[in-house]
Amino acid sequence: MLMGHYSSALVAKRIAPSLSLPLLFVSSQLIDFFWGILVLFGIEKLHVIPGFNPSNPLDLYFMPYTHSLPAAIIWSGGAAVLYYLFAKTPVHRVRNALLIGAVVGSHWILDFIVHLPDLPLWYDSFKVGLGLWNFRYIALALELLLVWGAIIACRKIAGENHWRYVLMAIVMSAVQISTLIMPPPLTGTSVVLQLLAAYMALTILGHWASKPRQTE
């Protein structure tokens, strides 16, 4: 899953408007941020195989430190604890920390829906995944439905920034659709660098979309 991960961040923003949207965006992709770094250092591994599945060319054959179920639980718990320890305000600290942890953990759950069986239940063993990526347009429809459903849910809290949220959803949709129609990079390093750049750009976009209008 790609853009659909951001739906959990937007839903959390709807529940707790005081939470920073850029922070929630980073939380939703935290597992992939570290996956990308570990791939660049050769610790986790992938193959780029054109036609590997109908949705993308990625054979994600070794990623126990980010995408195994125990790892996802650790990343989620760690993020929640860090937020609790370093939150600037004590108001709703426990609730917000739990939300941050849930957003991080939602990454594994959403990946489970679309991934081929490459998500380990323990280290690099007992791999699972429902394989929705085998159904290209159904997987695309799910991603877009998650994004737009979450944007609609955020309509009230967006207030005057509602159209910024809509523009953000349009950008996300364009990125998601482009992954189906543009030729994939030929190397794993290229894939990872493009994904990390996209995650950082979307975090900046989330900051812009949620920035109070009166501060401009």
Q: What is the pLDDT of residues 178-209, one digit of tens each?
A: 988 876 677 889 999 999 999 999 999 999 99
> Is the distance from CB of 129 to CB of 146 less than 8 angstroms?
no
* Among 109, 104, 106, 103, CA closest to 132: 109
> Is the residue at 141 inside a domain?
yes
Closest CA to 52 of 184, 142, 196: 184
Q: Residues 12, 102: contact at Cβ < 8 Å? A: yes
Both tokens of 133, joined, read 């990526």
Assigned domain for 123 exists: yes
Structural tokens at position 52: 């590997």
Residue 76 one-letter amino acid: S
* Ranges under pLDDT 50 in the chain: 215-216
Q: Quote the number of domains for the chain.
A: 1
Residue 110 lies in a domain: yes
Residue 137 CB-density burial (10 A; 0-12 exposed, 13-18 middle, 19+ buried): exposed
Q: Is residue 140 part of a domain?
A: yes
Q: Does 32 map to a domain?
A: yes
Question: In this predicted structure, what is the pLDDT of residue 181?
Answer: 83
State residue 188's pLDDT score. 84
Range of the domain at 48: 3-211
pLDDT score recorded for residue 212: 84
Q: Is residue 175 part of a domain?
A: yes
Look at residue 216 and tell me if it is in a domain: no
At 215 the pLDDT is: 47
